[in-house]
């Protein structure tokens, strides 16, 4: 996979140490605390995000199998990657994108991604919010006979394994150390799944993998009313939580993205904290990047203050930025939708009502989702309501939540008692 990606202009991206951000962490942390923060700069890929790793393997497979084109349903970064790499191999690309609410109002970040898809030569089908995204995807696959370049096929997830593998190799070569924690922004789950698998293949069995999402509790991503009340199109709890606990809701029969198998902790950040971190990265490190990776960076900034100075946190991706992804465009759009913009205590932020930019970097906090609750939610989709579970099935189920058979048995007993 590494060779295939390199031949297509993908991968081998730099691992950068954020020395100035780390210095700020140490000013806020107790003595001896303040882990070093590194970032894997995936904006250096063709199309500007880690999604090029997924697209490269899928498009390569489509080409070798003789398909004339590829189809993907995506909010945009992946669509841009599929379009760019399909064009490179002489294939057509059809991207199906959920863009608008029922008033045909689209978020600037989504429209920026649509522009990128079209710039790379794709035909883009734009839809309003609702269940028709995957329906149209499946219908057009049958109608066109194109290759299913879904985000969630084994090829797409395998393409991200090189990212985890490179992180391991670069940490060893550049810093003679292994990361204590790798933080991955979590939405559909493929980013975290692929990266974690790559880390394991490189031998990093002791490195913890933390998910990070923007807290959009209370907003439904399938709701026309709520669709434009969020200020992030991905990397938020509206995708990250339900797709983690029930991955097989996607557009393939068995989703290869199964993040609960690899998540050690799940961190939450606020919208305002991500905007603040985006500006901080640009001001302190001269790196202007989009919001997806900065979700993990906001979490890492707070987490680093709780860890020892000799430990390393890797933020495992960045994405390109553009006019529609810039904080000013997103904040202006939020204000137009009636969202109040405030500078103050980000802990008081209410999704859909306000966005609170921290008035001091110390406001950025570590918040942990309850992993037992997530495990139980996952198990409810896996187990029968009653009856015995075979030993082999129990081993599989335990692996699905990264747990032991004994602990899984306890959780299943509690679930059945609660029912």
Backbone dihedral angles phi then psi of residue 313, each to the nearest 5 degrees: -110, 130
| CATH class, 9-44+158-367 region | alpha beta
- Look at the block and give the residue holding tokens 């700069």: 41
φ/ψ (deg, to 5) at 320: -65, 160
Distance CA(37)–CA(13), nearest Å, equals 17
Amino acid 232: pLDDT? 80
Euclidean distance between CA atoms 330 and 333, whole angstroms: 5
pLDDT score for 355: 97
pLDDT for the residue numbered 370: 97
pLDDT at residue number 221:
76
Identify the bridge partners of residue 93 per DSSP, sorted by sequence position: 70
The reported pTM is 0.96
Average pLDDT value for the chain: 94
- ∠ CA 372-416-243, rounded to 5°: 45
- If we measure between CA atoms, which residue out of 160, 189, 184, 183 comes closest to residue 51? 160
What pLDDT, on a 0 to 100 scale, did the predictor assign at position 250? 83
Residues of the chain with pLDDT under 50: none
CA angle, 38 then 41 then 47, to 5°: 165
Note the pLDDT of residue 187.
Answer: 92
Query: What's the CATH architecture for 48-154?
Result: 3-Layer(aba) Sandwich (3.40)
Q: In what order do the strands lie in the sheet with 181-185?
A: 15-17, 36-40, 312-315, 181-185, 208-214, 265-269, 367-368
Give pLDDT, residue 387.
85
* Count of helices and strands (H, E) across the chain: 15, 13
Beta bridge partners of 340: 354
């Amino acid at each position: 996979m590494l060779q295939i990606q390199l031949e297509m202009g993908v991968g081998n991206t730099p691992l950068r140490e954020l020395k100035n951000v780390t210095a700020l962490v140490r000013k806020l942390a107790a003595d001896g605390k303040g882990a070093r923060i590194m970032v894997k700069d995936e904006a250096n890929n063709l199309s500007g995000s880690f999604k090029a790793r997924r697209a490269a393997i899928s498009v390569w497979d489509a080409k070798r199998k003789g398909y004339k084109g590829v189809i993907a349903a995506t909010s945009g970064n992946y669509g841009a990657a599929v379009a760019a790499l399909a064009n490179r191999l002489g294939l057509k690309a059809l991207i199906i994108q959920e863009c608008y609410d029922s008033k045909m109002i689209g978020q600037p970040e989504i429209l920026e991604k649509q522009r990128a898809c079209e710039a790379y030569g794709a035909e883009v089908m734009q839809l309003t919010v609702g269940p028709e995204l995957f329906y149209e995807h499946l219908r057009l696959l049958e109608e066109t006979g194109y290759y299913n370049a879904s985000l969630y096929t084994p090829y797409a997830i395998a393409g991200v394994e090189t990212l985890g593998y490179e992180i391991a190799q670069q940490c060893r070569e550049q810093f003679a150390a292994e990361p204590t924690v790798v933080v991955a922004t979590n939405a559909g789950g493929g980013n975290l799944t692929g990266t974690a698998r790559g880390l394991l293949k490189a031998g990093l069995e002791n490195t913890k993998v933390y998910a990070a999402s923007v807290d959009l509790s209370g907003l439904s991503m399938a709701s026309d009313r709520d669709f434009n009340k969020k200020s992030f199109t991905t990397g938020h709890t509206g995708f990250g939580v339900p797709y983690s606990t029930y991955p097989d809701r996607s557009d393939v029969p068995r989703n290869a993205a199964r993040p609960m198998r690899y998540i050690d902790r799940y961190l939450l950040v606020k919208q305002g904290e991500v905007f603040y971190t985006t500006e901080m990265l640009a001001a302190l490190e001269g790196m202007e990047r989009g919001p997806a990776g900065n979700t993990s960076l906001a979490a890492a900034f707070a987490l680093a203050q709780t860890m020892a100075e000799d430990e390393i946190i890797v933020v495992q991706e960045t994405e390109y930025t553009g006019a529609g992804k810039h904080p000013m465009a997103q904040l202006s759009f939020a204000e137009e939708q009636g969202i109040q913009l405030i500078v103050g205590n980000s802990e008081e932020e209410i999704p859909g009502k306000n966005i609170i930019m921290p008035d001091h970097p110390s406001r950025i906090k570590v918040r942990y989702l309850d992993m037992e609750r997530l495990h139980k939610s996952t198990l409810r989709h896996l187990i029968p309501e009653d009856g015995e579970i075979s030993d082999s099935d129990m081993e599989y189920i335990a692996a699905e939540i990264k747990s032991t058979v004994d602990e899984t048995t306890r959780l299943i007993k509690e679930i059945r008692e609660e029912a």
